[in-house]
């Protein structure tokens, strides 16, 4: 996620809710989502800083890097842990609280979409590993790597951990590729799919507590192999 975009959203919301100590965004049902989306868009329209306003409103254009052109896109955006964590921390630094209320069936919908995503990935990615691998120790991970035909193939995988740091790590192959077959690591649909799979296999973990990273980061940062870095916002290194 582009941190500059997140900062634009924070500044616009801060301007709109300047007298509020608590900012509520309710996504629990269709009516609430529609109202939240209208209010979110209104925050940009009423922004008193022209440049900030223009940058914010561009996010409602179809095909933009951050595409908030529909309520569904808006809800998916607000369900992104990186977005929520950044905004909540930003508001907390000025003594405010951002609360986002999610639909009760959010996880059910996400797992359905996740299963669909990986079914499609198996068809479009050559030699796609359909398995979800769960490891309790680093030794288990390195044992798995040693058994690969080509150990370098590990760099085609995502790792996923719990925000609490007390759960196993999950490994799942990247399913989004460019025209040359190279992994794309910044696809929001895939990131939601990974989170849903983590919840699916680790029943006692909240869907929104899953934190994914690319294999390269996991291998290069022993400190964050089972617990993410809570001070950063780069998803390739979170």
Phi, psi angles (nearest 5°) of residue 104: -65, -30
Residues 233 and 117 in one domain: yes
The total number of structural domains in the chain stands at: 2
Last residue of a domain, one of 48, 80, 101: 101
187, burial (CB in 10 Å: exposed 0-12, middle 13-18, buried 19+): middle
> 212: Cβ–Cβ under 8 A, 6 or more apart, which residues?
158, 159, 160, 161, 191, 194, 195, 198, 235, 238
Other beta carbons within 10 angstroms of residue 17's beta carbon come to 17
Residues 168 and 210 in one domain: yes
Average pLDDT of span 10-19: 95
Average pLDDT of span 64-93: 90
Residues 61 and 128 in one domain: no
Q: Which domain holds residue 29?
A: 3-101
Residues 189 and 139 in one domain: yes
pLDDT at 238: 47
Residues 178 and 119 in one domain: yes
Residues 144 and 88 in one domain: no
Average pLDDT of span 79-100: 91
pLDDT at 237: 47
pLDDT tier, 231 (very low <50, low <70, confident <90, very high otherwise) = low
**Nearest by Cα to 64 from 235, 188, 211, 237:** 188
pLDDT tier, 233 (very low <50, low <70, confident <90, very high otherwise) = very low
- For 28-75, write each residue's pLDDT tens digit: 999 999 999 999 999 999 999 999 999 999 999 998 888 999 998 998
pLDDT at 135: 96
Residues 221 and 110 in one domain: yes
Confidence check: pLDDT of 170 > 80: yes
Residues 83 and 122 in one domain: no
Residues 80 and 166 in one domain: no
pLDDT at 234: 42
Confidence check: pLDDT of 164 > 70: yes
Last residue of a domain, one of 55, 80, 101: 101
Q: CA-to-CA distance for 83 and 34, rounded, in angstroms?
A: 19
Chain-wide mean pLDDT for the chain? 90
Written as six digits, the tokens of 199 are 């919840």
pLDDT tier, 208 (very low <50, low <70, confident <90, very high otherwise) = confident
Last residue of a domain, one of 101, 119, 143: 101
Residues 10 and 114 in one domain: no
Residues 8 and 113 in one domain: no
Residues 120 and 91 in one domain: no
pLDDT tier, 206 (very low <50, low <70, confident <90, very high otherwise) = confident
């Amino acid at each position: 996620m582009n941190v500059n975009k997140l900062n634009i959203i924070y500044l616009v919301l801060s301007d709109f809710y300047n007298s509020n100590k608590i900012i509520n965004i309710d996504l629990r049902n269709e009516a609430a989502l529609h109202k939240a989306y209208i209010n979110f868009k209104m925050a940009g329209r009423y922004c008193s800083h022209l440049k900030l306003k223009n940058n914010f409103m561009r996010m409602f254009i179809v095909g933009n890097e951050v595409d908030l052109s529909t309520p569904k896109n808006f809800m998916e955006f607000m369900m992104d842990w990186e977005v929520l964590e950044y905004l909540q921390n930003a508001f907390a630094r000025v003594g405010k609280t951002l609360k986002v209320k999610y639909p009760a069936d959010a996880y059910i919908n996400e797992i359905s979409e996740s299963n669909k995503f990986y079914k499609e990935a198996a068809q479009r990615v050559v030699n796609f590993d359909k398995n979800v691998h769960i490891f309790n120790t680093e030794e288990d991970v390195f044992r798995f790597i040693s058994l690969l035909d080509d150990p370098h193939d590990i760099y085609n995988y995502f790792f996923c951990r719990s925000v609490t740091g007390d759960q196993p790590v999950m490994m799942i192959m990247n399913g989004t590729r460019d025209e040359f077959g190279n992994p794309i690591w910044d696809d929001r649909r895939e990131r939601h799919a990974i989170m849903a799979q983590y919840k699916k296999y680790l029943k006692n973990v909240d869907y929104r507590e899953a934190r994914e990273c690319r294999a390269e980061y996991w291998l290069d940062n022993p400190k964050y192999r089972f617990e993410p870095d809570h001070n950063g916002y780069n998803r390739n290194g979170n």
